[in-house]
Structure 1
């Protein structure tokens, strides 16, 4: 009798023991990615702007198996349109969402080449479709998506892969930081359930799993791609009742 087929390896298992630098790890998707990577056995360097939140995330990561911690980071948004545009907010958005990941990738390029590492940029469905009342944010995420393609093409000969994830609406603190009250934020989230073909918003865990796939050797022949994790938000032209 032949031996039973070997069970498939756990998705993302190749990340065990690898070092991952996760920016914006004090809340939202960044915190979710940190927790998930810790559960896969990664060694993490975490950055974030809220040190109290960041320390809480570090402690959660340790509970999930993190061997050691490093700390400090960002991602920002404003509600604006062409008639209400503030150049100060525009500059801030691009500084955080485009310039920071560009500069960080530039600084880390020698190490990425030496280690045949990977880069996963956290973008947005609004980098692919026009967002309502978020002109600067949408423009910054479009720039990040194209930057991903450009850097991927440059680094591919060195064995370095660069991809981006474009989530749909994920309940995080970013809308509150953009100026919404708790009540407005809840109304905004309820409304946007209708803008997704799956009739719901996503979770940080769903995005974290896609990021882990792209960071791991499970996606070893994939680079320069912008992956949607948006519950079909990009499919809809009009809002559904």
Structure 2
């Protein structure tokens, strides 16, 4: 032992006749604190034990397993059917079909073995366009009948959508062009700029109806943004074409 041995006289503590313990003898030695050498030795053994029980690979593997479990629990709690609209699912499936050569050769083309599936998908896709238009028209009509949103809020949204966002997009795209991040193709630049001036997506109304929250407010906002879209989109399209020319 590196610490000093301590002798304690345990026999000095005895029960008296009345049940109260007697005081310790004067020559009893009080326990001393461990020396710095013993502390260093204990810390060395603790570090060595931790190094032998926890390998670096095991720690990384445990962390990775915990992240996977947390992600899986999050996926199970989410309602994917509510989050993804049918048009979004169709776009993802079409992207996968076009990306995988084997599936593309089976489905796409006049001589493809499963060409009938492509024809059926095209038929359903042609019918989805008027259906989405009817849904948007119903949302706009609902927003026309009610006015639960303050006028200042509507004005702020319109200004942010058709004034602030196109200006910010123009600065971002021009900066990317000057830095060489975007190719010098006028059509490509025009499409990038045009994305900042289009009205809100029609799927927003579908998502609010699926969740059952903010339907009336969304209808009113969609009404005014689409009512002003013809003027704003014409102006910004002309400006963007002049900018990339």
The TM-score by the shorter chain falls in which range? under 0.3
- Structure number with the bigger relative contact order (C-alpha 8 A, sep ≥ 6) is 1
Instruction: Decide which structure has greater strand share.
Output: 1
> TM-score, length-normalised on structure 2?
0.23
Higher Rg of the two aligned structures: 2
**TM-score, length of structure 1 as denominator length:** 0.23
